[in-house]
């Protein structure tokens, strides 16, 4: 199956060099790669123009403004003629051969929607907590969840055309829509691990030193969206996301409509109860 990948960059040249090297590391891996830069000003443009060379690179798009990730994906995927479409961010390191495994799964599983590499670390995965979500489809296993991360993934071009363009900052909702329509979403199992360099556990993470969170606010989605602002809140969000992936249901109905609202209300009530208990015992800061 033919594969078109889009690799999106914005600032953080250190990450881009490492991430692009990981994508191109295996010369036997077959795909067409479009590099899309969103008006970086840190030397990324010169690096892409002068130092990047590989026959699998179909195009390098240098935007004059930050068009965002969604615009890049819709543009490149929308004009593709490949069987499979993939997206890569400049803050993740993918393992060699990842496209071959995911492409074979797509070829063998007709209803496979979005399937991705695991974007946390191997020791974040707990088989006992996740085993109820690991399902077998022929010779493949999928660790199911209605949505995945936004990088190191493949979907069928036919699905992209069936479900239409992705709305800005609504990738998770897009995956949920696919899952609600009967697509099998999730992470390939045994896990194919990609390293998220923005993860505090990564040795490459740029947000460790004093003041680094504010420095990278404009280029880090979690900070722009208000999910976290320092290391404590970053780790809190991280734990919550890993817990949901391991233990949360894979049925998309649990996150949509009245079932989703009830589930969210229960979680909110639990948080309020926890806070009130802390207040009564004199805890907190």
Model confidence band, residue 211 (pLDDT cutoffs 50, 70, 90): low
Of 141-155, 214-228, 241-255, 266-280, which gets the smallest average pLDDT?
A: 266-280
What does the pLDDT look like over 223-268, one tens digit per residue? Answer: 555 555 677 888 899 999 999 999 999 999 999 865 555 454 455 4
Of 26-35, 157-166, 233-242, which gets the smallest average pLDDT?
A: 233-242
**CATH superfamily name and code, 3-195:** Spore Coat Polysaccharide Biosynthesis Protein SpsA; Chain A (3.90.550.10)
- Mean pLDDT throughout 15-36? 98
pTM attached to this predicted model? 0.86
Percent of the chain whose predicted confidence (pLDDT) is above 90: 77
- Mean pLDDT throughout 31-56? 97
Query: What local confidence, expressed as pLDDT, does residue 225 receive?
Result: 57
State the distance between the two ends of the chain, measured CA to CA, in whole angstroms: 55
What does the pLDDT look like over 168-189, one tens digit per residue? Answer: 889 999 999 999 999 999 999 9
- Write down the domain spans for the chain: 3-195, 252-285
Encoded tokens for 246:
């391991």
Residue 140 phi/psi, 5-degree rounding, is -115, 155
- Mean pLDDT throughout 31-54? 97
Q: Which residues, other chains included, contact 142 with Cβ-Cβ below 8 Å and sequence gap of 6+?
A: 105, 109, 112, 115, 134, 135, 184, 186, 187, 188, 189
233 vs 127: which has the higher pLDDT: 127
Element (H, E) at 243: helix 231-247
- Mean pLDDT throughout 77-88? 98
Rounded Cα–Cα distance for residues 63 and 43 (Å): 14
């Amino acid at each position: 199956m033919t594969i078109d990948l889009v690799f999106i960059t914005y600032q953080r040249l250190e990450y881009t060099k490492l991430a692009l090297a990981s994508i191109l590391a295996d010369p036997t891996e077959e795909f067409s790669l479009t590099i899309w830069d969103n008006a970086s000003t840190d030397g990324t443009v010169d690096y892409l123009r002068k130092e990047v060379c590989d026959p699998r690179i179909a195009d390098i798009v240098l935007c004059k403004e930050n068009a965002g990730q969604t615009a890049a994906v819709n543009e490149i995927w929308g004009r593709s003629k490949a069987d499979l479409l993939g997206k890569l961010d400049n803050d993740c390191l993918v393992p060699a051969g990842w496209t071959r495994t995911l492409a074979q799964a797509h070829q063998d599983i007709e209803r496979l929607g979005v399937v991705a590499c695991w974007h946390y670390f191997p020791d974040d995965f707990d088989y006992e907590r996740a085993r109820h979500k690991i399902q077998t489809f022929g010779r493949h296993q999928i660790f199911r969840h209605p949505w995945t991360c936004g990088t190191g993934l493949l979907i069928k071009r036919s699905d992209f055309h069936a479900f239409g363009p992705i709305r800005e900052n609504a990738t998770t909702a897009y995956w949920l829509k696919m899952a609600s329509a009967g697509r099998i979403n999730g992470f390939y199992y045994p896990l194919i691990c990609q390293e998220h360099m923005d993860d505090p556990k990564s040795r490459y993470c740029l947000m460790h030193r004093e003041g680094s969170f504010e420095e990278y606010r404009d280029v880090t989605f979690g900070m722009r969206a208000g999910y976290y602002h320092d290391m404590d809140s970053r780790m809190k969000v991280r734990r919550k996301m890993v817990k949901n992936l391991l233990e949360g249901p894979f049925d998309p109905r649990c996150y949509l409509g009245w079932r989703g609202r009830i589930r969210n209300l229960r979680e909110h009530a639990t948080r309020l109860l926890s806070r009130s208990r802390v207040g009564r015992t004199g805890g907190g800061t």
